[in-house]
Amino acid sequence: MKMQHLYDKDIQKYTFDKSNCSSDNIEHINSCEVCKKVSESYLLLSRELKSQPEPELEFNLTELVLDRLAFSKKEPIYNYMLCLIIIMSLGAAFFTIYIFRDVFSNVFSTNITISNYFILSIAILISLFLGLDMYRSYYKKINMLKY
């Protein structure tokens, strides 16, 4: 058995992690009033810590979180609306092309001029630009949601 008083760390080990405490130290503490007192003071501290009240929230966390998540729950409806708008727009575009098919066929078959190519290439460029911009903003929003 050790005759000298133990280190603070060893006393804490005895108090909170007895299975890893050496038998010499256990024997010493069991027979030493001073070390036992230190161990008891740590036990007292531990008991006091356990009885500490939990912090109280000044806000309703569940409500706040669920309110913010309600946005993503509405997403499917929002997606259906978006699909509907896209389908309706495509329908309207095809309908217009169908109605004015003679005009379009004349423009692209008989009178192919540089100005036609110019108009067409500008239209493609604008569509491309808008498409890329939409894609970029979509990814930006998704990344924000992913933190």
Partner 1 sequence: MEQKRAIDRVLIKRVLDGDSIAFETIISNTKGLVIQIIYKMVKNPEDRKDLAQEVYLKVYDKLESFKFNAKLSTWIATITYNTCLNYLKKKKIPILDIDKNEEKELWEKISVNTFCYSDNQTESYVFKKERSQILTLAIEKLSPLYKTLITLYHNEELSYAEITEITDLPKGTVKNYLYRARKKLKENLLLNYKKEEL
Contact residues toward partner 1 (CB under 8 A) are: 4-9, 11-13, 16-17, 34-35, 37-38, 40-42, 44-46, 48-55, 57-59, 61-62, 64-66, 68-69, 72-73, 145-147
| Residue (2 or 107) nearer to partner 1, CB | 2
Asked if residue 6 lies in contact with residue 25, where contact means CB atoms within 8 angstroms, the answer is yes
State whether residue 38 is helix, strand or coil: helix
Q: How many CB atoms lie within 10 A of CB 7?
A: 11
| Residue (9 or 102) nearer to partner 1, CB | 9
Q: How many CB atoms lie within 10 A of CB 111?
A: 9
Task: Compute the least distance from the CB of residue 43 to partner 1, in Å.
Answer: 11
Phi and psi, residue 114, nearest 5°: -65, -35
| Residue (49 or 114) nearer to partner 1, CB | 49
